Structure 1
Amino acid sequence: MESDSAMGAFPLLTTPIESNYRACTIPYRFPSDNPRKATPTEIAWIDLFRNSIPSFKKRAESDTTVVDAPTKAEKFAQRYADILDDIKKDPESHGGPPDCILLCRLREQVLRELGFRDIFKKVKDEENTKAISLFPEVVCLNDDIEDGGKRLENLVRGIFAGNIFDLGSAQLAEVFSRDGMSFLASCQNLVPRPWVIDDFDTFKAKWNKKSWKKAIIFVDNSGADVILGILPFARELLKCGTQVVLAANDLPSINDVTYPELIEIISKLKDESGKLIGVDTSNLLIANSGNDLPVIDLTRVSQELAYLASDADLVILEGMGRGIETNLYAQFKCDSLKIGMVKHPEVAQFLGGRLYDCVFKYNEVLG
């Protein structure tokens, strides 16, 4: 993580005084709740993080970069479970009261203290290789759709389908390890519209005007998510004349793509003339967001990203962590899109939707 002195607020975020910016979307507790007693919502989310421990332990055990990984993986599982038990007994222990940012941060701290830096590296590399091989086919299928509105909807469906590759969800991690996932089949099997939040038609109307000069996209997972979901969408924005900045994590967290990994991915996808299947990439930039979690607090981003974002007129937060569990209600000085799939029952219940429902929340800033 970058030093605090190198971090600052995202410049397009409406100032906290005006917007009462609160990174976490779901309120775990209210001022009237007993500070010494965990609320039902806190307990539900602590249990959700506890349920993810076995899949994290399994990944840690097989991390060949760490000496005596199985023993240290067992220590991680026990230590993080103990922390969660402490928070259940006293919500203010360990820097609480808890929210999704704190619960993620504590998990990463335990892993890093034990020497684990990137326990999902192997599966990320495997999925990136698969997705890179499929990239030309996915792009050509999109390009073959002549109707602009239908092509945009197909690109959006690709983002949702790619976003299924999320090993932070205990249920999806189990499915993935057992069966793998097919990107094109996932595109076909999305829940039908209308989605739980569905502003697609409003977004399409603005898209057709080709009025965005610069877009910042906070990317999420490795593999199909960024390569088959976000990059075809970003490529379409480039074709419309929009400059695109992809903001990726500084440090590894779950299977999220990192800044160095994204640079490597795009270098592999470009042809010898530097194009993405016929599209010039001189307007495509990669930025280090400064973040090290699968969720993000926009009051703390890198100076590099803050500089690049200062003149953007579209902000996209992709994925459940960045766009739903945090920042769903964040207000910006420019147009914004929060897009992701609902992969936790607790989130579906909060939104009044279904598990694996889709969120497409678009806010247009008029004038």
Structure 2
Amino acid sequence: MECSSELVPFPLLITPIESNYRACTIPYRFPSDNPKRATPTEIAWIDLFYNSIPSFTKRAESDETVPDAKVKAEKFAQRYSEILEDLKKDPETHGGPPDCILLCRLREQVLREVGFRDIFKKVKDDENAKAISLFGNVVHLNDAIEDQGRRLENLIRGIFAGNIFDLGSAQLAEVFSKDGMSFLASCQNLVPRPWVIDDLDNFKLNWSKKSWKKAIIFVDNSGADIILGILPFVRELLKRQTQVVLAANDLPSINDVTYHELIEIISKLKDEHGQLMGVDSSNLFIANSGNDLPVIDLTRVSQELAYLASDADLVILEGMGRGIETNLYAQFKCDSIKIGMVKHPEVAQFLGGRLYDCVFKYNEVSRFEH
């Protein structure tokens, strides 16, 4: 990894010993299951990753930075398919039993082994440029909403709409390649409330009566997600004098924004006075999370992020990977939000919701609890 220092536990996480923290939300197997036989849940998730191979292969083939990309893409498809078949036959192979972290890690390892570093780079750059051009318009629309509660809900809806841009979902990758995606149309077309987990009204109540001094936000995808979804919300926090730390991936993974890409995006959006559309951004910081996957185990973050997070009083995990497939039940020593759209049928089924349903899970922690 490029994040050279040793990874450490996220300091605001209630320790695994106290809370039985396990990163993966969905249990793939139980102690009573035969260790040598894949469970139905493991098979379903292995199939989900198997179904994403064609879209990853297509992206890899079109990577102009890699010589013989087509040959190497075929190697990736063959090798990763073989690994998934091995896991079906014996879940204890390849570092198993499998969960969403292992399945993601194996896919990234195979891509890197055959010679790919960032197969989504071109589409990320294109979507970032498109979203940057729309940023001012989205901010103006939000600023025009005078009622604080309505403006906050509009900002949250914007996060969900931006989060649709996820090329790790086979169905969305296909939709995106055919039609592209309209951010404002996505805002209009969100599934109606109440969502599958919907603590938004409680959060709105707290938003009006309390202020957070520092927020850590684990961000997700490039393009509309970070620029049109997260950053308008960040700007609202900055207006309230909240210091904001955006934690982004160390290495590329799917179309997730990286630490270096995020620094570049922010520099393009700031004016010559260091403002984000009229709001002072001196309280906005970018941190390398130390992570290299679209999911995250919070017992392994960078020392830089751990240091910056030590005095935060709000943690936000955004996106299906970080906030739903992992860490939905993670407990923190401060207020926390898990926010993301459900983009896999298997996740929708587990939660008892609909595909493209929304999760807004807000946990308030009394200052006397810890």
Aligned amino acid, residue 309 of structure 1: A
% identical aligned pairs: 87
Contact 2:5-2:303 at 8 Å conserved across structures: no
Aligned to 1:273: 273
Residues 166-215 of structure 1 deviation map (CA, whole Å, 9 limit, x = unaligned): 00000000000000000000000000000000000111111112420000
Q: Distance in 1 between matches of 2:263 and 2:3?
A: 22
Q: Distance in 1 between matches of 2:9 and 2:122?
A: 33
Matched, 1:357 2:361: no
Q: Distance in 1 between matches of 2:298 and 2:332?
A: 11
Aligned to 1:214: 214
Partner secondary structure for residue 6 of structure 1: coil
Matched, 1:166 2:180: no
Q: Distance in 2 between matches of 1:366 and 1:205?
A: 15
Pick which of 140-149 and 205-214 moved more: 205-214
Contact 1:55-1:173 at 8 Å conserved across structures: yes
Q: Distance in 2 between matches of 1:5 and 1:143?
A: 41
Mapping for residues 1-367 of structure 1, pairs under 5 Å: 1-2=1-2, 6-367=6-367
Aligned amino acid, residue 303 of structure 2: Q
Residue 5 of structure 1, CA deviation: 5.2
Point out where structure 2 has 5 or more consecutive residues left out of the alignment.
none
Contact 2:132-2:269 at 8 Å conserved across structures: yes
Residues 219-238 of structure 1 deviation map (CA, whole Å, 9 limit, x = unaligned): 00000000000000000000
Q: Distance in 1 between matches of 2:5 and 2:88?
A: 33
Contact 2:108-2:253 at 8 Å conserved across structures: yes
Q: Distance in 2 between matches of 1:247 and 1:263?
A: 11
Contact 1:295-1:326 at 8 Å conserved across structures: yes
Aligned amino acid, residue 334 of structure 2: C
Q: TM-score, normalised by structure 2?
A: 0.98
Contact 1:2-1:302 at 8 Å conserved across structures: no
Aligned amino acid, residue 96 of structure 2: G
Partner secondary structure for residue 155 of structure 1: helix
Partner secondary structure for residue 8 of structure 1: coil
Partner secondary structure for residue 11 of structure 2: coil
Pick which of 97-106 and 203-212 moved more: 203-212
Q: Distance in 1 between matches of 2:318 and 2:354?
A: 19
Residues 144-167 of structure 1 deviation map (CA, whole Å, 9 limit, x = unaligned): 000000000000000000000000
Contact 1:220-1:319 at 8 Å conserved across structures: yes
Contact 1:317-1:339 at 8 Å conserved across structures: yes
Point out where structure 1 has 5 or more consecutive residues left out of the alignment.
none
Once superposed, what is the RMSD of the aligned Cα atoms?
0.8
Partner secondary structure for residue 202 of structure 2: helix
Q: Distance in 1 between matches of 2:45 and 2:240?
A: 41
Contact 1:46-1:84 at 8 Å conserved across structures: yes
Residue 2 of structure 1, CA deviation: 4.8
Q: Distance in 2 between matches of 1:351 and 1:293?
A: 23
Contact 2:87-2:93 at 8 Å conserved across structures: yes
Pick which of 5-14 and 340-349 moved more: 5-14
Q: Distance in 2 between matches of 1:218 and 1:298?
A: 11
Q: Distance in 2 between matches of 1:5 and 1:82?
A: 33
Residues 231-278 of structure 1 deviation map (CA, whole Å, 9 limit, x = unaligned): 000000000110000000000000000000000000000011110000
Partner secondary structure for residue 31 of structure 1: coil
Contact 1:248-1:288 at 8 Å conserved across structures: yes
Residue 366 of structure 1, CA deviation: 1.1
Residue 115 of structure 1, CA deviation: 1.1
Partner secondary structure for residue 208 of structure 1: helix
Aligned amino acid, residue 126 of structure 1: D
Q: TM-score, normalised by structure 1?
A: 0.99
Aligned amino acid, residue 79 of structure 1: R
